[in-house]
Chain A
């Protein structure tokens, strides 16, 4: 077992993991942060997206030990108390989710997208979220949500 120590949603967290433990499993099973989901095993779907040191990353493709010393933000850390993040608010307003399984990863990717490009075109939004699969919405309401958040 290897000791890992990282900051998750602003709090210092320490744990002991097998070196092969994926960051997503460390977050979900040791820290009980189950908002981050696993949708595939080949790094395509993006359901597991979190921010590692401010950049969106697929937490199924990082070992927990690789994140040692990092700052990680998960969907649970996005709202400030009762105040939803503008993207969360926009996904709600625009009906940007149905089953909700892809949603945390989709929102975390969009945080990264808007940080890089605060005023994306529709095409840029569609490209920006193409590392995330959604099977429910056909993406149109998600695109609307990201555009709405960008206008804030």
Chain B
């Protein structure tokens, strides 16, 4: 006798987030909301010049101020703290958390104050007097490569952080380079397009600036550190190593975290300094970043030049691609800095079957804030360069940009697909995504609309871009931290479920999505599941949230740990019901015997039995709790197609986005509502980059866009309504079939929009435009100035 299930299936549903009730009522606890008795406040004195030798530093006035506990110069911090560690295998110059002799970018810390409150700490920091002997400054990336006017780190001639790494066709793992295939492709080609492109420097600007509370307890010899971080377990590892403590003695907590976007992966000078100052003073200390500090002291993103050459036949078949990449990494290597542009190389194949590719990468030091991951981290750059080249090729060949792409796609029957760059794309159907985007945007009628607008003298353009990204990072071979994720699932005595995840969400909603999964897996109510994250004392192991990995890697770990517990619970139920384990069915909050629903026990009854197992079934231990470390065999490769329509005001040069249609394929989706939110956010950052955002330095190394008054943060009024659609191509890499979606929006949007602007200005002979599409730049072109 079959009964109708009463519990809804939740995976795949638009479930409202359970994180929200606390956040919409102001009840979340962010790091600045943490208070510890006796806590002192830290403030940093920062360099106001971009390059100089410290000739004197006078802290006496600061030390004399009432409420000041201590002042530490760079030399004093250096006595407590080894140089900054990095997480990449590239050589790196010495980098002190607080500068000792030389400052190399404006904003670099030179001293730190601990005081009774934040106002006193700031006053004291301002009272420190530092004198510098100015050194020449270099901010131009390609000038820096000549070693002129200054070499920033002695051991790195010509400011080359990474001299030149080749990759692609004919490059062997031991670094031997055979250019013959690439040279042949270019020699045979009927058309070659060459273009210098610039993917500009950006400021991540999570709405919550960084912050840290470090609490060393001398009696216990333990350290608790709260930080606005994307990865508390990595923080714990690094803090332990840098304070000489064991990982068992350090507890790291990521409380509510107000956005990260890649910039809160890095473990920063201020986190290490807070830890050692707390240890030195035997007092808890708090540091909260001001926004103006965040602009210079939190890592920036992108800032990479590409010399792109694409070779093709007149029929549109692409034969070869060359991409010479020059990444400006600023003054120092941070945790992942040097690795980010390598992802640009890795994704040079894009969605195309390109027979021969040569990329080279050079990384350069300049007197700017260091770069590191920013949403997309290397992949939006690759997408931008290749897709712009494809659109330029389409324009040159007078081909429809969609048809040019279709002609060169990696076919849907070619997966898994080994690229020229060493990646193995897991699954894909690029033509399907393109077709859906063309259909949903009404591509043909958009062309007619554009042409009609042009006939009226309006400047309207269309842009189309494909993307594929590398997500679900990753196998342990691809991350110095290990590329797995951890989960523990516990069925409590009352039949409720507690689960921990090493993913550390800061807006991604995993408390909701992981609860949806477990509720379905055990067929119990959603409200009976609690997901805990962000505290290394509770969450035994973890890597963290970045690289669009939470669902694909963290979610799979939850699923696998749940599966282990479920198997054990079935054994307890079998013993209780005198049935075979394989005949136990989980449905509607009950465990019963297959085909005999009446013969069953409630979920809570079986749970209670597992904790008081009288009698204990042979071969079983009491309790229902198990863990999983999920190590994916490969990355995932989500993809999509973004189409935009843009109009440029003839009189003012102001561009306006009229329409934006995105098709994204992230594999199977757990919560489409949350997925939409992730895509919207990514689009806003991509569109922001294309249209308005840019970190601008003057030749003295001063960040001219150093506050929200100068840096163009996108506002609600800057966007049209985004139109989203999805294709679903599951990945075989994990049992969920989920690929990841956090960064997707930043990929297709920039080339789509720039191509639309170029299209709009094609009547002026424009072939390419560098971002951001500022009105002045467009206005000059319309007025007959240079492109």
Contacts and interface: CB of A to CB of B under 8 A. Distances in A.
B442 to A, nearest CB: 20
A45 B291 contact: yes
Contacts of A45: 207, 291, 708, 713
Contact of A135 (B22, B27, B259, B722): B259
A138 B258 contact: no
B292 A102 contact: no
B355 interface: no
Interface string A84-96: 1000100111010
A53 interface: no
B680 interface: yes
B431 interface: no
Interface centre among B24, B27, B28, B292 (most CB of A within 10 A): B24
A76 B26 contact: yes
Contacts of A132: 716
A35 B27 contact: yes
A139 B24 contact: no
Interface string B69-84: 0000000000000000
A136 B33 contact: no
B717 A126 contact: yes
B24 A107 contact: yes
B713 A44 contact: yes
A51 interface: no
B24 A84 contact: yes
A113 B315 CA distance: 56
B257 interface: yes
Nearest to A60: B291
B290 interface: yes
B210 interface: no
B23 interface: yes
Given A122-B721, A125-B716, 17 more contacts: A35-B25, A37-B30, A40-B291, A41-B707, A44-B713, A45-B207, A95-B676, A100-B28, A102-B258, A103-B23, A104-B24, A123-B717, A134-B207, A136-B507, A137-B681, A140-B721, A141-B676
A44 B257 contact: no
A129 to B, nearest CB: 5
Contacts of A100: 19-20, 22-24, 28, 256, 258, 507
Contacts of A74: 26
B101 to A, nearest CB: 30
Interface in B343-390: none
Interface in A116-152: 122-123, 125-127, 129-130, 132-143
Given A42-B707, A137-B681, A35 B508 contact: no
A135 B682 CA distance: 9
Interface of B: 16-17, 19-30, 32-33, 118-119, 205-209, 256-259, 261, 288, 290-292, 506-509, 673-674, 676-677, 680-685, 707-709, 713, 715-717, 719, 721-722, 745
Given A40-B708, A135-B261, A130 B715 contact: yes
Nearest to B294: A40
The 3 closest A-B pairs by CB, nearest first: A35-B26, A101-B258, A100-B23
B258 A140 contact: no
B677 A141 contact: yes
A34 interface: yes
Interface residues of A, number: 57
Contacts of A102: 207, 258
A45 B205 CA distance: 11
Contacts of B291: 39-42, 45
B717 A75 contact: no
A98 interface: yes
A79 interface: yes
Between A20, A36, A44, A142, the greatest number of chain B beta carbons within 10 A of the residue's beta carbon is seen for A44
B381 to A, nearest CB: 20
Interface of A: 18, 20-21, 25, 28, 33-42, 44-45, 47, 74-76, 78-79, 84, 88, 91-93, 95, 97-104, 107, 122-123, 125-127, 129-130, 132-143
A125 to B, nearest CB: 7
Main secondary structure of the interface of A (DSSP, over half): loop
22 contacts: A18-B119, A37-B32, A37-B258, A38-B288, A45-B207, A84-B25, A95-B673, A95-B677, A97-B23, A98-B507, A98-B677, A100-B22, A101-B256, A127-B717, A129-B716, A130-B717, A135-B205, A135-B681, A136-B507, A137-B677, A138-B682, A138-B684
A138 B508 contact: no
Nearest to A20: B119
Given A99-B206, A100-B28, A135-B207, A143 B23 contact: no
A137 B674 CA distance: 10
Nearest to A140: B680
A139 B719 contact: yes
Given A42-B709, A44-B708, A92 B16 contact: yes
Contacts of A40: 291, 707-708
A133 B24 contact: no
B748 to A, nearest CB: 14
Nearest to A92: B20
A101 B259 contact: yes
A133 B677 contact: no
Contacts of A141: 676-677, 680
Nearest to A35: B26
B592 to A, nearest CB: 36
Given A126-B716, A135-B681, A138-B684, A75 B17 contact: no
A133 B708 contact: yes
Contact of A101 (B30, B119, B713): B30
Given A42-B708, A92-B20, A140 B207 contact: no
Given A130-B715, A134-B207, A88 B16 contact: no
A37 B26 CA distance: 9
A138 B20 contact: no
B509 A37 contact: no
Given A40-B708, A122-B721, A127-B717, A95 B16 contact: yes
Nearest to A103: B23
Nearest to A34: B33
Nearest to A90: B24
A133 B692 CA distance: 15
A49 to B, nearest CB: 12
A35 to B, nearest CB: 2
Nearest to B16: A92
Contacts of B16: 92-93, 95
Residue from the set A84, A91, A107, A139 with the largest chain B CB neighbour count within 10 Å: A139
Contacts of A103: 23-24
A28 B682 CA distance: 31
Contacts of B715: 126, 129-130, 133, 139
Contacts of B721: 122, 140
